Each structure stands twice: as structure tokens, then as C-alpha cells.
Amino acid sequence: MSVAMARADQLSAEMQSFVNQSALFQPVDDSLMQMRVAYDALCRHFTPPLPDGVQLEDHLLPVDGRHIPLRLYRPATATPSAGWPCVLYLHGGGWVLGGLDSHAFIAALLAQECAASVLVVDYRLAPEHVFPAAFDDCLAVWDWLSVDGLALGINPARVVVAGDSAGSNLAAALCLATRGRQGPPLCGQALIYPALAAVPTEPAASEHADAPLLGRDDMAYYLAQYAPDPATHADPRLAPLAAANLQGMPPAFVAVAEYDPLRDDGLLYVRRLQASGVAAQYHLGRGLLHGCCASGSRGRRPPAWSAHCQRPSLACLLTRHDMDRHDMGCSAMPCGAAPPSPDLAMLIRKAWPDKKRAGIYRPVTTPSRGEHP
């Protein structure tokens, strides 16, 4: 076992508690149905009540003789005349698990913290629907949103796409597919521990091959369900890092977990974005595991971070507007430095700019440690 691997004695008490709680929701057998039952129960366990001041609506988008279910979270106040800025949220779950309920702990809190609408897409799942079905659904939603978003009170010119894990994969692929198209561009991308390559990037893939909650074998299983044909594995719609260039992409905020075989997918993506002239921010959550966004969501709002940067607040992970100098546990900043940008909240505010927020975007180009771009 690699010394860099996440052992039980390396995990914070909070992360170990998260692992222990997650272990209570194991499927009763290896069937896909039971995997989904267990995953849904796990997500319900970590989902707090709907925050005050947030309301939700369910909608169906007709596409090619079928319907894509959507869930809209938004502030329970009057819709602005131009429509709400929006986070188009694509959920994780290895392209196999999850749905409208699974990521309520993220979507509802984002609507509250960012004063924006959050639109969650219930894209088709594998293995019933293999690649590129999930991507096609997300693209169909964007194509509709960019034209008719005001039907849901959304300003189509003020949309950020976000996602976690497999949802981040779909979000980055969507950004690639919509470059240069007619209509309003996406204003930003916010990726949480993204999967961006058919084979996870080294050295993290080997260092954390057996990490708790998600290992390299788990990723291979999910990929086999979603993209069983190896000929598709170099398609940028499946593996955004396979794209020949990343020029013209929206500004990016990429957060990764230290003990995650996917960690270096996010790092490589940010480096390539910056090399292509795209404003991109990388944040390493030290001591954290894949899936950790749920760990601080059950029934309370934890501190932003402990002094050792090991206790994440989901809202701060994505918006960071009340974080201290330890923001994201990122050692790219000297202690006491001002928090860098962009992040998800700032990307949203860029979509709805005002004079006070001018000039807040800049690429990070000066690393202070080798693991950061």
C-alpha cells in the first residue's frame, strides 16, 4: 500500500465518521437495483430539510417523444424581470446512480447561498442508457434553457454549469460542446472532484486506488456501465481531457479531495485551461474524500474549515464568501493572503454583474507548491 494512500489513521474524525455512516448503507446484494436503493437511502440520510426561503418546482422537458425530469430550486421571492441567474446542476453517481432527490443537499443550499435558481437535471442513467445518452440529455436541457429559460424565470444569459464527480464530467463536456455556438454562452463551470478521463490521471489514481468511498476499481465499474465500447473512451464528450484544446472555455472553479483517485484529473484540467488562457481556479481539500460534500450537510451548518482545513462546509466549498484565510485547505496561497477568484458564487455574479464586482476574475498563474497549478 502506498504511504500516500488514505489510511484510517490519516482521516480526520469527521471524515472517518462520514465513512462509518456511509458504510451503514451497503446494498443487500450486488444487483444494480439494490445499489440504487442503497445510494438513495444514503443520500436521504445526508439531506437536511429544505432551507427557509427556498422553494422547489418539478418540471418535465419534452425531448424526442420522451421527457427529461427537472427540478428547480429558487428563492421564494419575486422573480427579477430579467430572470434569475442560474446554476445548471448535474448530479454525480457514476452515471449509474442518483436523480432529482440525491443531491438536494447541494442544490437547495446553493439556491439559498447564491440567491440564484438551481436547475437539476434527471438525465438518463446507465447501463440502461449508455454513452452518450446522459450527455445528450444535458445538452438538450441547455439547448432549451438558452432559448426558453425565461419560461422558468431563468435568464439564459446568466447560467453557470456545475456538477460533482460524474456530473462534473458532464458539465465539462457540456462546456466543450457549446463553445462557439450561437446564443448565450455558459458563464462559468464549477466542478467538484471531477472525473475527466477514461483512465484516472496519475499519480493520484495509484496513490489512492483503494481510497474509502471511491477507488480505482469503482471508477472502472462505472465506466464499463456508461461506456462499454472502448472506442468511445477518447471522445471528449466522455473524457473532456481528451479534447485537443480547451481554448474558449468558460471560467472554471475546480475543487478536489486529497484522498481521491480522481484528484489529479482536476489538477490537469486546470493546468490545461490556464495554458489555454482560461481563468481557472484549483482547490485541494486536504484530508478529504470523494463524496465529502455530503458530510457537513446533515441538519446543521458546520464551521467553514477547522484550523487544519479538514471540515468542509458545502456552501463555502462552492461559494467561499465567508471563508477565512484557510480557504479550501489550498496551500497555493500564503497564510493570510486574500482569497483568490473565481469561484461559483463569483461566476454567478459575473453572470449578473454590477459595478462593485468589476475586475474580480483572474487566472491563477503563480504556484507556491508543486501540486498546484
Tell me the catalytic residues. 165, 260, 290
C-beta atoms surrounding 37 within 10 Å? 14
- DSSP, collapsed to helix, strand or coil, labels residue 12 as coil
The answer to whether 357 touches 349, Cβ cutoff 8 Å, is yes
Q: How far is CA 92 from the centre of its chain?
A: 7
Give the Cα separation of 24 and 18 in Å (integer).
10
Cβ(65)–Cβ(95) below 8 Å: no
Instruction: Compute φ and ψ for 254, nearest 5 degrees.
Output: -125, 120
Within 13 Å of residue 224, how many CA atoms lie on the same side as its CB? Answer: 6
Helix (H) or strand (E) holding 75: strand 66-75
* Bridge partners of residue 90, in order along the sequence: 121, 163
User: Which residue is it, cell 460534500?
Assistant: 293
3-state secondary structure of 312: coil
